[in-house]
Structure 1
């Protein structure tokens, strides 16, 4: 606060002596705005009083101090704000306004060494087209298949055009992150130069000084495939990717309020992709004369074209149990019997599992997202049935097997016959030898057998052989051949035969 004498001196040095504002500011160690303000002042400034009376708060100050001292010992998240303290005082009988409480709390914290947090100040950012995309996760509540559940939503946002893309997943595992990038780049029709992230465990393995990071090797494989530069934010500095941070709140309001209801994740993600295109019709927040879609049309050609889709799997090495099963995420999946008690590689993606052995895919299953589920392919156990046909009746893989109606009818009748287990296994073995169309052939053979009224495994086998036997070539007499015709036909000469006979007698 400048005294009136100080103000008068500044005015005299400038208006009488002609000294410049900069010179006065340097000599008096003041800012130039302060000097300018003093030059405009002709009367003594009227400052707001520094101490305001608080008659209604007086008797409650001791209680307020006790609460502040108690809160100071708690973690920052658990401390009460001035507004919450004001509400607590009202419960105790305080009749005054909020202002005195707020000023008292601020004064107490300053005296206790608690400085109020500075209001964040930011620099406006401008991003070139095709350069940067920001990524983040959010938690949303949806109803899938009639069940309310919390899901994870992957958010992408191109910083120039503001074009967004979102995809829903059951959790934030690495294969989900990889799959989200594959979907996003397909949606954008290209890849930006840089991708900005939080320090996700699925992306960053270690945080060093400054911006230096050690990225996850599998994630770097994705980055090298699409040739983008991964950039990790400073910890607890969400403003470094503020666009996608704001998008999280907007998407929650626009797409998940009220609660979205779909049959499964596939239907939900199809709808989310359509809504992202529709929301691109909104006005661009900076280029207000254009829509987001128009800005994206300008940015999209500058994205790097996708030459090949990345196979976004995470590979694990597992040992197959004696029951031909492997365990992935609390669920069990079957493997062909010849790999029982051996080690295989399992490639896990967001929606599938592929079992690899000897550099070949030996089994594949849709991925299940629940717990304690058994996912079996009955064909994997056929070699076991060949040796133990009795397992057909109570084997879990065969109880869940959805066979065509005609095969089920034949199976039920054959199993009631003597040695019916082994007989039906022979039908399955025959179907396996026929390859991919074997089950269809077995279904037709069972239909034909049921029409005869005599249901037996031998009859079904006979029908399958008849259906698959190689067709015989047509008889030659039934084929009209175009034969060449002679212009001069030879004459029959019987005398030649007589001459040969006479020569024989002579010798």
Structure 2
């Protein structure tokens, strides 16, 4: 609002209209019109304190009978929804509004006023609220927008390296690490290293809506946390609350830190050349140390001092072992009650033949789940493909009995029947290159005792031995 009181005061002191316009500030024409109007109404300085600028404006320029409030106001709620549709503009909506006013006989707003009220409504809805965070409560994570660069020592090719950023919401204490890609392994590894750097775990983890964190199975409004990411959060005892889609203010500290890191780390290293990811991360570590130790401009201390003194004591302790990245796959149990993964075969209880099971694979172990219940666990196999890891308890009973058969058992069985039978069975077992090839022959021979009697079998074996 124009400062009418100041214009009249400066005029009473003998200032020119040009100087008054520079001091207030306003245009010279405005000063001229105000002074002329005040002279017509015999209004001069000094003025009473009750005569404010608003009251003075009412005296100088009284509103006519056709007040703005008598005009038909547009439905701002409906307009806001319509503007979200493709092709709908303010000009189109104003034309429709004018037609509506013509049909109802209402006094319409002009286009500039129409747009002014829409803009005011938008500004009200863009109001933000500062939420005070408690120490050790929340950490925000994201990928930085500007990548760093690595030079391939063999080809000279420039390779982009993506920066992971983790920020404690209360102290703004940051962690930064470079990775060759933004895939799940890099995402999980970054979190493991971040918690080790912080020396503890915050209660809440706020990630962006990247695919490695959130699965949009039913659209943007039906989000599910990625299975591996959720498992990692359970390991560290933290809760994941993803930021809303296209709502950067849900993680303002990460967004602000991304900009600062782009300046103080990425841009600060722009003139240096790195030939490996390890070299780049070593340089980032040095810059990050200085970044966290830098003093705040508008409050006391630094990110490091605030984190060390107020946040670190409140963080939950790290688990005994760091999280081991797991790969999840789905497999079908074959008729031989095994599943095949990476060329190796692992046994499953035979009751689950032809069932689909979920498999969790780490570097050392392989776990099998059915309906979220673990039904098998194996040490992971490496080396020649086609190896079997079979647990006897997973086999049907008749298959388990088959495993009990071996050469010694056949010999003991034959020895109980007769000495000649024992010598024949032993000769059959040693005649084959692989002992198992003789099992059927031995079984067939010993079964003859049930059919023809032990005495006849013993006599037959004695006669057979006489020929050999």
User: Which bracket does the TM-score occupy, shorter chain normalised?
Assistant: 0.3 to 0.5
TM-score, structure 2 as length reference: 0.46
TM-score, structure 1 as length reference: 0.43
